[in-house]
Amino acid sequence: MRRPVEELVEKYRDSVFRAALSVSRNPEDAEDAVQDTFIQYMNSKRQFESEEHIRAWLLRVAINKSKNIMTSFWNRNRVAFEDYMENTQFQEPEDRSLAEAVFSLTEKYRVVMYLYYYEEYPVREIAEILHISEGTVKSRLARGRKALRDILKEAWDIDE
């Protein structure tokens, strides 16, 4: 017995997520496990005896995927952003607030700002790395700068 993956996602996604979350205790890791579980089902040629067999298999795979995530090198060596910032030495106090402001940006702005200012990549190379146009990189840099100005202005206004 095989069921279309769309039906299974609709029917069992929440159960599979809760099973993964019970192991990982992290919603993002649980989401990764859920996605990996349904991908494994799609790639599997396995035939199941019943609907209950499919459900049990999905839950077991999700639990195993979560355990794998928990024991992965990445997870064992992951440091919370706050801990990282706490242990990082900055030359000037303003450097810390600037780094925190950059990391508070949404990902699409944060990545281009990081590549441009910290890694010193030119716009053309950033576009190649991210598979986006140079115009998009330039607009994200401009919007990221504006967002940083707003964040830092707000922080400086509070300090005064």
Contact by Cβ (8 Å): 108, 147 = no
**Per-residue pLDDT at 79:** 61
Contacts of 30 (CB under 8 A, 6+ apart): 17, 20, 21, 23, 24, 66
- pLDDT for the residue 51: 93
Report pLDDT digits (tens) over 86-130.
777 878 877 788 888 888 888 889 888 888 987 888 999 899 888
Q: 89 vs 5, which has greater pLDDT?
A: 5
On the question of pLDDT at 159 being above 70, the answer is no
Indicate the domain borders of the chain.
5-76, 81-159
Distance CA 94, CA 59 (A): 48
CATH number of 81-159: 1.10.10.10
The dihedral over CA atoms of 81, 86, 88, 94, expressed in degrees to the nearest 10, equals 100
Average pLDDT of the residues in 1-18: 95
Instruction: Please state, in angstroms and rounded to a whole number, the distance separating the CA atoms of residues 107 and 121.
Output: 17
pLDDT in tens, 137-158: 999 999 999 999 998 887 666 5
Residue type, 17: F
- pLDDT band per the 50, 70, 90 thresholds, residue 74: confident
Indicate the CATH number of 5-76 among 1.10.15, 1.10.1740, 1.10.10, 2.60.40.
Answer: 1.10.1740
**Residue 85 · residue 99 · CB < 8 Å:** yes
The amino acid at residue 109 is Y
CA angle 73, 77, 82 (to 5 degrees): 150
| CA-to-CA dists, residue 26 to 52, 55, 114, 126, angstroms | 27, 22, 26, 31
pLDDT of residue 36 exceeding 90, the answer is: yes
